[in-house]
Amino acid sequence: MKKRVLKNGSDRVGISIDLISTERLEELGSGKIRFIIDQVKDGKVLVLEKGLTSSEELELIRVTMTEIDHDSFIGVETPGFTGNISKRTFLQKLFGRTAPPRMMVVGPAHLLKTIKKDGRTIEAIILTRDSALEGDIREEDLTPPRDQEGEGFDGDERFDLDEEIDVVEEQDEE
Amino acid sequence: MGFFDSILRGISRLFKKRQASIGIYGPPNAGKTTLANRISRDWTGRSMGKTSEVPHETRKAKERKEVVIKAAGNKISFDIIDTPGIATKIDFHNFVEEFKMDEEKAKTRAKEATEGVIEAIKWLDKVDGVLLVMDSAEDPFNQVNVTLLGNLEARNLPTIIVANKMDIDDASPATIRDAFPQHPTIPISALAGYGMDNLYKAMMKYFR
């Protein structure tokens, strides 16, 4: 997550949501999955204009499993429309391909929670400190048990959300 | 994967170089091992693995060879592979907080679970058909189900959706059937044994 210094001078914390265009994803080519994992591990929520294919999604799951270290990254949440797999064209059936994927959201599993998903609607929430205080979500769920110093994790220390946040300076030039 | 793989797979089946391997797939706690045990016990008299309410109990794929199933006037020998549950996230804290597991054990379990997911994905290259197990009381549109089905279709792998846990009051196999109408859906309770005859008949029809 990024801590942004806004133009009015106030420090605000928040979750970075990046909208990734189809062109950007295609530019990444075979580095697409690596890019997504790196961004998500950095605490970002990505909205992909064009979702991943089912084979790319499976690769995302596979790579995610190799990256989980239980101290800083517990996985991904990937609500999305991956094409209507119940309505395939003749050619798609012939060549064994599912319908083209549509929009998809990918985020760190400790921050993004899918509430409801059907073929047409996705309801997801980005967990914040406020949502934890409202009661349904435990505040500790918002903070991965990351060791800031990278020197191991004793299991009891969960670092504070505010301290977790990277700083991106967006100072007013005036 | 696609048209040509389908042809190659068909040629392979034609020459019967080996008997069909059927993978049991699905998200954690859908009842995969309960189903594997049910099938194995019904036809070999032996179980395949331990079950638990704690997710990721199966963390290594288990194979039972030459399970001879008789149904609908046919007899086919299958190799049955019970695969670890596929998930997009694994947090050892869940084992500690929800199931009161010792922290070190929880971390080990989580680590093994990640390896299990990778192993399950690798097995997709080896199986000839899939029993995709879904919990009938849960929303079928979870990303694991959708991703798996997309991959199974891309590989032209014959797939039967097993709508498990029909013994639960909230079970709704119709929801699964409506979500994925392009695949046969068989309602069962692997725990109670309900619907197994229909599943065996479907295996004869789609995996022969």
Domain positions in chain B: 3-207
Total number of residues shown for chain A: 174
Choose the mutation target among B5, B7, B91 for the interface with A, i.e. most A CBs under 10 Å: B91
pLDDT confidence bin for A157, thresholds 50/70/90: very low
d(CA B43, CA B79): 12
pLDDT confidence bin for B126, thresholds 50/70/90: very high
Interface contact A64-B88, CB threshold 8 A = yes
Instruction: State which amino acid sits at residue A100.
Output: P
d(CA A56, CA A27): 15
DSSP state of A103: -
- Chain A residues lying within 8 Å of B144, measured CB to CB: 61
Instruction: State which amino acid sits at residue B208.
Output: R
- Which chain A residue has its CA at the smallest distance from B92's CA? A70
Asked if residue A173 is part of any domain, the answer here is no
Read off the pLDDT of residues A112-126 as tens digits, 9 standing for 90 and up.
887 776 667 778 888
d(CA A17, CA A108): 11
Asked if residue A74 is part of any domain, the answer here is yes
How many domains is chain A built from? 1
Place of tokens 């389908």: B6
Domain span including residue A104? 2-168
CATH superfamily of B3-207: P-loop containing nucleotide triphosphate hydrolases (3.40.50.300)
- Side by side, which strands form the sheet with A166-168? A11-14, A2-5, A166-168
- Which chain A residue has its CA at the smallest distance from B141's CA? A118
Q: Is the pLDDT of residue B53 over 60?
A: yes
Interface contact A85-B153, CB threshold 8 A = yes
pLDDT confidence bin for A102, thresholds 50/70/90: confident
Lowest mean pLDDT among A124-138, B17-31, B60-74, B186-200: A124-138
CA atoms within 13 A on the CB side of A144: 27
d(CA B166, CA B138): 11
Can you spell out the DSSP letters for B94-158?
Answer: HHHHHH---HHHHHHHHHHHHHHHHHHHHHTTT-SEEEEEEETTS-TT-HHHHHHHHHHHHTT--
Q: Is the pLDDT higher at A76 or at A89?
A: A76
Q: Report which secondary-structure segment, H or E, holds A32.
A: helix A32-41
- E strand intervals along chain B: 21-25, 62-71, 74-82, 129-135, 159-164, 185-187
CB burial class (10 A; 0-12, 13-18, 19+) of residue B206? middle
Q: Is the pLDDT of residue B134 over 70?
A: yes
ipTM attached to this prediction:
0.89
Q: Is the pLDDT of residue B25 over 90?
A: yes
pLDDT confidence bin for A167, thresholds 50/70/90: very low
Instruction: State which amino acid sits at residue A34.
Output: R
Read off the pLDDT of residues A26-70 as tens digits, 9 standing for 90 and up.
999 999 999 999 999 999 999 999 889 899 999 999 999 999 987
CA B30 to chain centre: 8
CA atoms within 13 A on the CB side of B155: 21
- Residue A112: closest CA among A122, A102, A125: A125
Read off the pLDDT of residues B151-191 as tens digits, 9 standing for 90 and up.
999 999 999 999 999 999 999 999 999 989 989 999 999 99
Of B86, B117, B150, the CB nearest to A98: B150
Interface contact B139-A76, CB threshold 8 A = no
Dihedral (C-alpha) B194, B198, B201, B206: value to the nearest 10 degrees? Answer: -110
Q: And the tokens for A62? A: 């596979």
d(CA B167, CA B188): 8
A6: left (phi over 0), alpha (psi -120 to 50) or beta: beta
Q: Is the pLDDT higher at A18 or at A138?
A: A18
Residue B131 phi, psi dihedral angles, 5° rounding: -100, 110
Q: Is the pLDDT of residue A173 over 60?
A: no
Read off the pLDDT of residues B69-100 as tens digits, 9 standing for 90 and up.
999 899 999 999 999 999 999 999 999 999 99
